[in-house]
Structure 1
Amino acid sequence: MKTCLDHALARWQFNGPVAIALSGGADSTALLLACWQRWPAQVAAIHVHHGLQDAADGFASFCQQLCQQCCIPLHIERVDARHQPGQSPEDAARKARYGALTAGAQALRQVHAVDVRSIALAQHADDQVETLLLALSRGAGLPGLSAMPAFWQRNHLDWHRPLLDVPGQALRQWLQGQGQAWIEDPTNEDQTFTRNRIRQQIMPALAEAFPTFRHTFARSSAHAAQAQQLLHEVAQEDWLRLEQKPSIRGLQQLSIARQANVLRFWLMQQQERASTVQLQELQRQIAACTTRGHAIHIKVGRGFVIREKDHLLWVK
């Protein structure tokens, strides 16, 4: 009898060899074993050793034993994931993890002769709901409400999340049916982390009140992602009309909504994002630019947006 995990992998447009981001937890262990059973010669693994907790060595040892047992090529990438002042621990760990996975894919190609061009992550339907709820709690716009994409490209790699339709409990049940153990992350019980509070307090209440919430929330995220894609296309068109320069006069001719949209597009090209307050103040200053002497100097992200003659610049 096929499980929802089997159906998820059957829908995945697999293009191996693929490296599974293997933490040793239930989700990534299930993804690794299921992929290995389905495509035995096309699967490798990358374990990111964050060094943030005493259990980190135990996670790495578990991953080594599992991969040796199945003859799966494994690369362990060690990183320093400590956060900088003003940076959230979760954000620091996430950035370190993606950098380590990219380095791990290169190591698999060079050291293990596995031509990895894709990386698969084990986030599932519950993780998707948590991401959406976090975005709502922060007052996020469409990019945040779109939650996590199932596919994207970065650093010359294809990145996949094939389990976004699979509930987390289904993965644990599948592992139990396989007789396969996994490692429990002790930080999952720490309710100082917002995600853990959502998982332990809010998700059970949602399941009781709205039994199909995973599917309906995912549908809302998909609608948000589609709307965001449309906004991106509008921003590209407006950017071309501005001759790919944030000219003050050109920006003043746009509606407030389109102006904000193309400003976000421009800032993303600088790898920066403006908060709602920063963007509103920038738009207020643009509207006030009726003379050559009107200066603009507004903090945005890690730098400032300034006026230089008739254009805006972002500077560190």
Structure 2
Amino acid sequence: MKVGGSNPLERIKIIKKLLTKLIKKLIKCVVYLMTILNKINKIIKEKQHFLLSYSGGLDSTVLLHLMIKLREIKNIHLRAIHINHRLHKESTLWSNHCQEKCKKYNIPIIINNITIHQTKNNMESYYRNIRYQLIYKNILPQETLLTAHHLNDQCETFLLALKRGSGPTGLSCMPVYKKNGNITHMRPLLNISQDTIKKWAKKHQLKWIEDPSNSNIKYDRNFIRKKIIPILQKRWPFFIKNCSRSAKICNEQEQVIDLFLEPIVQKNTLFDNSLNITYLKKINKELRNIILRKWIIKNGVQQTPSYNGINRIYTDIINNNKTSTPKISFKKYEIKKYKNTIHLVQPIMPSMKHIILFWHDTSLPLSLPNQLGQIINNNTGMKIPYPKKSTLINIRFQANGTFYIDGYTYKIKLKNIWKMFNLPYWKRENIPLLFYDDILISALGVFVTRHSNLNFNKYWYLSWQNNITKNKNYI
């Protein structure tokens, strides 16, 4: 650096000025770094093990860099996972880029490839679901998931929810901290704008991937990001922050509502997660609709039906006295009514009416089709008369006729037996029926039949694991 002026004192003054300016700049950078790191440190608190979703893009690159900096001052263990969507000709190069960066900083990385399937559904939603499935498959029990969602993402999510006509639940958008079953998901950058993230990346000369698909406005999120938000921000500079504030207010409101409604939902939810509708018929529409939403969310559904869909649950199902088996569909679910209860069902099972499974070696578990679990010969299951020698033990899912069952002195039609045990019609074909040759012996987990020619001096005990009443696919 050349310093002008012939006078030595003048030169010294200029050098002092430059040094002072440089020191101030360095101090400002250090303070800036510590401010961001402190924010992240407050969010992660006592957590020590992390799995970072690393696309190689700007946002996840900055989060990776910040976590590396945090690792220098705090004892944390960091792994990364990269999902290659294989939608771009350079996607393999992007995977290699992520691998090299992680290798440089001694961070273990998992590379997973998505197999492309044609789907009529929303592609963004499809790939997001696949991405999270792969992440959840690879995350360790002690790890916390980190994603690089930021303030602008929150604003985009808020506007997308408005477009869908969402209520306060949908407008609550993304929380910084979220529990999904046993997995903890954190978004440390959620209150930081993308401008700040970009400045950080440039200041530290970080290299990241630019995915051209992020500029494709045929996708709703990209359209909002590229076309809508710039106009709103130009008119109202604080629009993005205010969206985040509105989302936070909606979230707080939902938490308060949950506190008041949780006991009511709990009281009216039965052991099989069905909802008793007697109470719903006595209350006003607004309260009923909120309870229905809370019950659906409690059943593990992320996106509840629309406003009109919730109203239809009452008019077409709860208040329907004309149809004996009313139901409505939304997404991949169905809501069905049985007596005074409604059930959330995933209609994914093909008919098993003609299936017969032979159980030749009863010392081994018998696996059932359609993820219905298995039958095990153990000491804790249902007590059943032992089969005679050379009996062909088999499992079916359909039976005809009338039967004597324990506790009754007369024969009963199978259809009426199901009703006696309050089993909804859609569950009945999924219950394994135990046969000795062609004689129905038991509906496992439900009842045992009585036959004069059976050996009642000797018994065995059968358990049906993954019982249908506890499997969310069928309740």
Question: Is the TM value for this pair above 0.5?
Answer: yes
Instruction: Name the stretch that deviates more: 306-315 or 192-201.
Output: 306-315
Instruction: Name the stretch that deviates more: 56-65 or 46-55.
Output: 46-55
Q: Which residue of 2 aligns with 1:99?
A: 133
TM-score where L is the length of structure 1: 0.88
Q: Which residue of 2 aligns with 1:109?
A: none
1:119 aligns with 2:145: yes
Task: List aligned pairs for 1:227-246, cutoff 5 A.
Answer: 227-242=253-268, 244=270, 245-246=274-275
Q: Which amino acid aligns with 1:68?
A: K
Runs of 4+ in 1 over 4 A off after TM superposition: 291-295
Count of matched residue pairs: 306
1:138 aligns with 2:158: no
Q: Distance in 2 between matches of 1:236 and 1:164?
A: 28
Task: List aligned pairs for 1:36-55, cutoff 5 A.
Answer: 36-40=68-72, 42-55=77-90
Write out per-residue CA displacement over residues 148-195 of structure 1, whole angstroms, 9 at most, x where no aligned residue: 111112252211001011111211221111122111011011111121
Gaps of 5+ in 1: 107-114
Write out per-residue CA displacement over residues 29-75 of structure 1, whole angstroms, 9 at most, x where no aligned residue: 01001110111452221111122222221211110111111111111
Report which of the two has the higher share of strand: 2
Q: Does the aligned pair in 2 maintain the 1:45–1:73 contact within 8 Å?
A: yes
Write out per-residue CA displacement over residues 245-292 of structure 1, whole angstroms, 9 at most, x where no aligned residue: 523322101221121122122223443432322221221246645x69
Q: Does the aligned pair in 1 maintain the 2:328–2:334 contact within 8 Å?
A: yes
Q: Does the aligned pair in 1 maintain the 2:82–2:95 contact within 8 Å?
A: yes
* Higher Rg of the two aligned structures: 2
Instruction: Name the stretch that deviates more: 298-307 or 129-138.
Output: 298-307
2:94 aligned to which of 59, 69, 74:
59
Task: List aligned pairs for 1:13-24, cutoff 5 A.
Answer: 13-14=44-45, 15-24=47-56
Q: Distance in 2 between matches of 1:300 and 1:202?
A: 29
Q: Distance in 1 between matches of 2:116 and 2:250?
A: 31
Q: Which residue of 1 aligns with 2:293?
A: 264
Write out per-residue CA displacement over residues 60-117 of structure 1, whole angstroms, 9 at most, x where no aligned residue: 11101111111111111222354633x21011111111111122324xxxxxxxx851
How far off its partner does 1:219 sit? 1.1
Q: Does the aligned pair in 1 maintain the 2:317–2:328 contact within 8 Å?
A: no
Q: Distance in 2 between matches of 1:11 and 1:69?
A: 27
Q: Distance in 2 between matches of 1:227 and 1:90?
A: 29
Q: Which residue of 1 aligns with 2:335?
A: 305
Q: Does the aligned pair in 1 maintain the 2:83–2:111 contact within 8 Å?
A: yes
Q: Does the aligned pair in 1 maintain the 2:317–2:336 contact within 8 Å?
A: no
Q: Does the aligned pair in 1 maintain the 2:165–2:306 contact within 8 Å?
A: no
Q: Does the aligned pair in 1 maintain the 2:151–2:193 contact within 8 Å?
A: yes
Q: Higher relative CO (CA 8 A, sep ≥ 6), structure 1 or 2?
A: 1
Q: Does the aligned pair in 1 maintain the 2:318–2:337 contact within 8 Å?
A: no
Shift in CA distance, 155/54, structure 1 to aligned 2, threshold 3 Å: farther
Q: Does the aligned pair in 1 maintain the 2:82–2:98 contact within 8 Å?
A: yes
Task: List aligned pairs for 1:104-183, cutoff 5 A.
Answer: 104-106=138-140, 116-183=142-209
Name the % identity.
Answer: 24
Instruction: Name the stretch that deviates more: 175-184 or 203-212.
Output: 203-212
